[in-house]
Structure formats: C-alpha cells, structure tokens
Amino acid sequence: MNRRRISIASVCIYLFLALFSLFCLFPMVLTIVVSFSDENSITKNGYSLFPDRLTLDAYRLVFSQGGTIFHAYFISAVVTIGGTFLALLVTSMAAYTLSNKTVKYRNVLALYFFITTLFSAGLVPWYLMCQKLGLLENIWSLIVPNLLFSAFNMFLVRNFMDSLPGELRESAYVDGANDLRIAFQIYLPLCLPVLATICLFYALGYWNDWFNAIMLVSNKELYPIQYLLLQIKSNIDALSMIPTGTQMVAIPSESTKMATVALTVGPIVLLYPFLQRYFVKGLIVGSVKG
C-alpha cells in the first residue's frame, strides 16, 4: 500500500513538474514560431503555434544589414566577456576586503556601498563623470559604467565569504601567505558557487545593455547587438506606417520583433546550463550568513 501511495505521489509530482516546464517553455516556443510566421497570418489570426504560412522574411530583413549585425554580435561578445571578468574581479576583491575582520572601518565601507543601492546621483552627473573619465566613443564606454559596480552582488559574495571558517585565513597568515594569495588560492576557489551566480547576473546585464550605447557611443562600429536590433525594430515600425497609395508598406513588423528576441536571447540561454548547478547554491548560501 505504501509503495502504491509513493508511486502515485511520484507520478503526480512528475506530472506537475512536466506541466510547469511546458508552461515555462511556451513563451519561448511561441516567440520562435511567430518569428517564422507570415505577417498576414499574424494580422489575421494573432500569435499562434500553428500559423497558416511559415516564412523567413523577418530573418532576411534583420540580416539584410550584412556584416554589420555580425560585427555587433562581436562587440557584444567582447563587452560581455571582458566586462563580466573585470566585474567579477572587482566585486570579489571588494567582498574579500569587507569580509576580512582585520580591516579597519570595514563596516563604514559596507554602509557606503549600501547607500548606493538606495540613492542615485542622477543621469546628468553620471554622464559628466563618464565624460571626465574618457568613456566616450570607445569600447570602455560599454564596459566601465556597468563595472563600478553592483553592491548587491558584492554583498552576496561577502556573505558567502563570511560563512567560510575564519581559521582558513588565520592559518594562511601563519604559513606566511599574503592577502592576495589567500584571496586567489583559498577564498575564490571556495566561492565558486556564488561567483558563478553573479557571473550570470553580470553577463545578462552586459549582454542586454543598450542604454550605454545610446548615451555614450555614436560610432556605428561600436554598436552592440541589442542597440543595433533596437534601431532596426524602430526603423521597421516607422516604415510600416508609411502609406503607398491605398496600401500600406508590407513589412513583417510583428515577426521581426520576435526574431530580434530569438536572436538576442539565444546566447544567454546557452550559457545558463553551464552555470545552473552553481546558481541556486550560490543564491541560498550567499544570501544568509552561517
């Protein structure tokens, strides 16, 4: 009887998880299907998993930019990889410093960082600071403004480090190791789960960023993929409203929107499985002390 009950309970659990997974996948599947749908079919029937006609018009329109879109992908990849690495380095070093109980005024510094999560200086001071730092019309314009830095991620790593035994640092000091060696050879390897978690946060932020390109970059050679696709979408929306006699210009605006979503979200979807096993552990352990 118990085996039967356990079996029925397991079936119900697996069935619920399967249905929940389908609900989670549905928006992404619908997005991909609509991106291949004919514009007239979308106008007539709305978004559907079974469109009347499939077409590549949206992707032809997006890739009509030629090598520009691949160059934008390259810029986004460089910014994401380089920015994520530097952000991880800065965040982990700040967290290690604040977790070291021998550092004077570490609580004051922690309060200083915490204040940045509550208040912002505003857009104009931010722009003037970027201008003074030379963060205009160069690749660093897309990296540094997001690098300095997420206090939330820093506190997440610091709390994780606080959960590690303090004897690790003390024994390393006795053996003659300095703080740099302790951080890179002892603490950071042990903090791999939380570092993988904030790595995903930073990678998502850099990959999806288009605001810095709007504010700090006018050179088309430096446009990331998000900003380039935003421009394409805006141009398509504008052209779709231009009348030609009694007919409107036949431009696949809706399917193009879905195509841009599919093109931008793909690389991040591929990144997540490699970090998944660390993600939940890093959030749970890094969010509480002990």
57 in any annotated domain: no
Contact (Cβ atoms closer than 8 angstroms) between residue 195 and residue 187: no
14 in any annotated domain: no
20 in any annotated domain: no
Burial class of 152 by CB neighbour count within 10 A (0 to 12, 13 to 18, 19+)? middle
Distance CA 30, CA 37 (A): 10
Tens of pLDDT, residues 158-205: 888 888 887 778 888 887 888 888 888 888 888 888 888 888 888 888
Higher pLDDT, 285 or 42: 42
Tens of pLDDT, residues 107-165: 888 888 888 777 777 788 888 888 888 888 888 888 888 876 678 888 888 888 888 88
Crossing angle of the two packed helices 2-35 and 253-287, in degrees rounded to 10: 140
Q: Which range among 110-124, 231-245, 250-264 has the greatest average pLDDT?
A: 110-124
Tens of pLDDT, residues 88-102: 998 888 888 888 887
19 in any annotated domain: no
214 in any annotated domain: yes
> Residue 78 sits in a domain of what CATH number?
1.10.3720.10
250 in any annotated domain: yes
15 in any annotated domain: no
How many domains are contained in the chain? 1
Beta bridge partners of 118: none
Task: Give residue 131's domain range.
Answer: 62-287
191 in any annotated domain: yes
